[in-house]
């Protein structure tokens, strides 16, 4: 069964990487993103408050299946983008259960634009990463559908729906999870 997951992961990663290697398809897979919202930078206190609020709020729901048990929790993701080269992300989750409450993930995601305009962009993201709950560890592929909404020139708030399968090491049960909500995207 795990061989099938690794085959699917490899096919997804090959597809994601090959999207930038065929120049005849470049305008289809990576149309120019026009996300720019020009605002007056004269009110720095207001901008700092909004940026802090975006980092802290909102926390999003996450639902997990592990070893035929259902768990719910809250999660927050912050990602740093290098469009069109992808983005790196860090995600913290607090799972409501008796043990191993804290989970941390680090991932690389490739964003494939589906449609974009002046004030939005629909993206399909595929990625892979590392998982730890500070006792066990694992690796995961993930996919998400995002609606990016710019706040400032270098900050966007993506509304996302994400699915992920975490393959645990040391013969621990794997984790399947679904999350949705708002993230924070910082362009570097």
Q: What is the mean pLDDT of each run of 10 residues along the chain (188 residues)?
A: 51 49 43 51 64 69 95 93 89 93 96 90 95 95 93 84 96 94 84
Total count of domains within the chain: 1
pLDDT value for 183: 85
Give SS3 for 124. Answer: strand
Q: Report the pLDDT value the prediction gives residue 177, as an integer from 0 to 100.
A: 96
Reduce the DSSP state of residue 2 to 3 states and report it: helix
Collapsed DSSP state (helix, strand, coil) of residue 7: helix
Angle at 27 between CA 24 and CA 33, to 5 degrees: 155
Backbone phi, psi, residue 17, to 5°: -75, -40
Listed residue (121, 152, 156, 120) closest to 38, CA to CA: 152
Neighbouring C-beta atoms of residue 150, cutoff 10 Å: 22
Q: Which of 140, 58, 125 is nearest to 87 (CA)?
A: 125
Contacts of 172 (CB under 8 A, 6+ apart): 136, 138
* pLDDT reported for residue 1: 52
- Residues 10 and 3: their CA atoms lie apart, in Å, by 10
Task: Provide the pLDDT for residue 25.
Answer: 40
For residue 52, the model assigns a pLDDT of 65
| Residue 67 domain boundaries | 2-187
Q: Report the CATH number that the domain containing residue 20 is assigned in CATH.
A: 2.40.160
CA nearest neighbour of 121 among 90, 87, 76: 87
Structure confidence at residue 96 (pLDDT):
95
């Amino acid at each position: 069964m795990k061989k099938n997951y690794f085959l699917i992961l490899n096919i997804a990663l090959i597809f994601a990487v090959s999207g930038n290697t065929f120049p005849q398809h470049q305008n289809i897979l990576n149309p120019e993103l026009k996300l720019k919202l020009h605002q007056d930078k004269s009110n720095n206190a207001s901008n700092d408050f909004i940026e802090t609020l975006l980092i802290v709020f909102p926390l999003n729901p996450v639902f997990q299946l592990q070893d035929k048990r259902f768990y719910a929790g809250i999660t927050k993701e912050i990602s740093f983008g290098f469009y069109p080269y992808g983005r790196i992300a860090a995600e913290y989750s607090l799972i409501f259960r008796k043990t191993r409450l804290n989970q941390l993930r680090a991932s690389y995601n490739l964003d494939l634009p589906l449609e974009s305009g002046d004030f939005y962009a629909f993206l399909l993201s595929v990625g892979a990463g590392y998982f730890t709950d500070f006792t066990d560890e694992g690796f995961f592929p993930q996919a998400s559908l995002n609606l990016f909404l710019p706040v400032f020139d270098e900050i966007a708030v993506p509304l996302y729906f994400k699915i992920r399968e975490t393959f645990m090491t040391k013969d621990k049960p794997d984790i399947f999870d679904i999350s949705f909500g708002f993230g924070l995207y910082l362009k570097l």
